Chain A
Amino acid sequence: MNRKISSFFIIQSVIGSVILLVFLIVPVTGLSGDVSQDIGPLPKIKAPGPERAALGKLLFFDLRLSGDANLSCASCHHPDKGWTDGNELSAAYPGSKYFRNTQTILNMAYKRYFYWDGRLTGKDRATQVRDKITETHFMNLDGRLMQERLKQVPEYVARFKKAFGGEPSFGKTLKAIAAFEQTLISQNVPFDSAKISEEAQKGLDLFKGKAGCIQCHNGPMFSDFEPYKLGVPEHPELFTDPERATTFRSVLKFLGVPNFENLRKDPGFFIVSKLKKDFGKFLTPSLREVSRTAPYMHNGTIATLEDVVDFKNRGGGEGSELKPLNLSADEKKALVAFLNSLSGDEITVDPPKIPEYQVIANWRKMPN
């Protein structure tokens, strides 16, 4: 054999193996190298202005931020239910019902993308608030009317002046609510202070090792905010509840999903990319406070953390990217113990007293 050729082949195969290894390792470890350092406490972020956050808290609970004054943000993001509504599928504006699970407001400031299909960037929390307030099926309020409602409440006028230096406006309202959300951050999380039980420690090892959860549930939020297909089955009520069916179609129509009239599955990330390969993919949710936000998955079809672990152990559902894990009963329990260690103190607030409208006395002489 020609020596040059054989050494050439050897070099080729070495390079090839390295490349192959890189392709095997990189998806597992991420490009950043050692992932055991990837999960960790939340980085400190600047606290919002206290005036703005206090104003935002009132607005968060104010029913008048919906068209017919029946719903507030808190109606679906209830402080006593982990800032969700505890349902499988979220409620929506009267006459509609939503087709996905409510996500928690906790730690919103750290999310890279919003919504299960990731259609909104996490950098723009004001727009996420705007979406919720003005969307037909959420709170259905015209922003111009909202502004005028707020101007009719003397306490709001005073607070907006103090917090922003001006009169109530659409944009400032969004910022105030976003500021309030920024105060809802996990506190005293056992995992963050490295004070977890032995069983939870075993769970952590499995999380990083045999169970491989860390492949997607990484970073300080325990989520890479990337879309994956797990084959979660569709929620039966998606089409057996007429109001849910109409909401599903009208949202997909608005977002420009082709063939929305005939879809019987939630397209997920396809809505954003419009690529066939992304059909049925949903973003990795954060695992922080996860013990508080049952039921689970984009459509709430998995009721408990034990059930989630079982689901992952099976390798997910039809068309899933996951592989079966072969976890023992003890290993599953350890994983759940670890997941529970990601919840800190319960963060709740008492619903504040909402200031009322007042008639503007001497209306004809006052500027609008």
Chain B
Amino acid sequence: MSRNRSKLQFFGKGLVPLLAAISITLVGIASNAGESQFPNLVALPGPPIPADNQQTPQKVELGKLLFFDARLGGDVSTSCASCHNPEIGWTDGQDICRGYPGTSHWRNCQTIINAAYWDKLFWAGASRSLESQARGAARGAVAGNGEDDLMEERLRQIPEYVKRFKGVFGTERPEIFDAWRAIAAFERTLVQRDTPFDKYMNGDKKAMSQDAIKGMALFKGKADCIQCHNGPLLTDQKYYNLGVPENEIFDEEPLKQITFRFEQYAKGVSEEIYRKTKSDLGLYYRSKRHKDMGKFRTPSLRYLEYTSPYMHNGVFWTPEEIIDFYNDGGGEDVIKKTFGHTTKTKLLKPLNLTDEEKEQLLAFLESLSGEEIIIAAPALPPYGIDRGDGLKVEVKK
């Protein structure tokens, strides 16, 4: 008798949230009714915080210093901020990122704003976390070119860092892996949740212009951008080949050609592919499946106003160019040209947008960027010296 009653109670308790979830989903689908079956566009919630790297103000402050500190790198010339410059949308404003002195990067650098929401980082999703990305960038041959042992000892030579690392992480001496944790914590504060779009979605119906509202309808409807640009981050975090044209800079600059070949070699492709490819193969480098050649991750459309140029190789300098590109149904599949099989997504078709519709889409895209988020480079703590009686900063007389 009591057993049957508790079963009922159990189902009763489980039933309510289940019904709630079903109804929310139904509402979500209903609001999209007649358009598409993708996660809806919604205001940005707070960023996910990993259980093993909780935020504290001290950790964030330490991470901010380290973000700007070129001693986390090889030749102390290049910090995270060198390529992710707060005054340039937290990118470096170029089509192909500048990379390390004496060399060049080979892809467009992405913004730090809202990076906290990504499942994985980099254009092909090569890093699983902000912590891992920070380490990868600091050590990459064409990025920071640093090495763990030496970077760690530099931190240990800076009395201010020794003190702060001890306060935040409890270590007697800074450990390099904690530097990545601190930087990730700092990056998790770089979010933008108050764009005109967010305000509108949170109830302020005057926050978006009429054109932007119409643009949003096109986005979900005729233009069907929402197929991939969905959810609160306006990305499904999946990988597609759109037929983005090649960047001719690779035909023109020796340093770009060097890095291109280096990346094939470093990412471990077969001899045949190393010799043959002149196209960035994107997701293929991780999956090693031919169907993934030339696929790159859907970028977020947030903060777009400040992060030009666009695409993995920076070939589009304005949002207008992007809209025209999609209006054409994307571009020619360079993978088909080189390898004979196509990996271009079937989701793109010519859109036949009118000029007015393009303007409205543009207005919507603009609503996804709020005020520019700029942080001034902080003063960095100096090295100390230990004459045998402890590490101290010596004041020059």
| A residues apposed to B, CB below 8 Å | 64, 66-70, 93-96, 136-137, 140-142, 144-145, 147-149, 151-152, 239-243, 245-247, 249-250, 253-254, 261, 264, 357-360, 363-364, 367-368
Contact = CB atoms under 8 A, between A and B. Distances in A.
Contact of A67 (B75, B264, B383): B75
Contacts of B254: 152, 357-360
Interface in B124-155: 141-142, 145-147, 149-150, 152-154
11 contacts: A69-B102, A94-B76, A144-B262, A145-B258, A148-B262, A151-B261, A241-B385, A247-B150, A357-B258, A368-B275, A368-B278
Contacts of A249: 153, 156
Contacts of A147: 265
Contact of A70 (B75, B141, B259): B75
B257 A152 contact: yes
B284 to A, nearest CB: 16
Contact of A66 (B102, B142, B258): B102
Given A136-B74, A152-B254, A253-B149, A242 B384 contact: yes
B385 A67 contact: no
Contacts of A67: 74-75, 100, 102-103, 141, 145
B291 interface: no
Contacts, number: 135
Contacts of B156: 246, 249, 261
A145 B255 CA distance: 11
Contact of A245 (B71, B146, B259, B386): B386
Interface in B249-290: 250-255, 257-259, 261-262, 264-266, 274-278
B264 A368 contact: yes
B257 to A, nearest CB: 6
Contacts of A68: 74-75, 77, 100-103, 145
Given A140-B74, A246-B153, A246-B157, 17 more contacts: A67-B74, A67-B100, A67-B102, A67-B145, A68-B102, A69-B103, A70-B75, A95-B73, A95-B150, A140-B145, A142-B145, A144-B266, A148-B265, A239-B387, A249-B153, A367-B276, A368-B277
A144 B142 CA distance: 11
B74 A95 contact: yes
B251 A364 contact: yes
Contacts of A136: 74, 146-147, 149-150
Interface of B: 71, 73-77, 100-103, 141-142, 145-147, 149-150, 152-154, 156-157, 173, 250-255, 257-259, 261-262, 264-266, 274-278, 383-388
B149 A264 contact: no
Which residue of B77, B251, B257 has the most chain A CB atoms within 10 A of its CB atom?
A: B257
Given A152-B257, A250-B150, A93 B274 contact: no
Q: Is the interface of A mostly helix, strand, loop or mixed?
A: loop
A201 B385 CA distance: 49
Contacts of B274: 368
A368 B272 CA distance: 10
Nearest to B272: A367
Contacts of A239: 385-388
A96 B150 contact: yes
Nearest to B386: A239
A363 B277 CA distance: 10
Contacts of B384: 242
Contacts of B142: 145
Contacts of B149: 136, 250, 253-254
B339 to A, nearest CB: 14
Contact of B153 (A145, A253, A357, A364): A253
B173 A261 contact: yes
A283 to B, nearest CB: 24
Contacts of A137: 150
B148 to A, nearest CB: 9
B386 to A, nearest CB: 6
10 nearest interchain CB pairs?
Answer: A69-B102, A242-B383, A95-B76, A357-B254, A142-B141, A136-B147, A94-B75, A68-B101, A246-B153, A250-B153
Contact of A363 (B71, B75, B278): B278
Nearest to A137: B150
B125 to A, nearest CB: 22
B229 to A, nearest CB: 31
Contacts of B258: 145, 148-149, 151-152, 357
B89 to A, nearest CB: 26
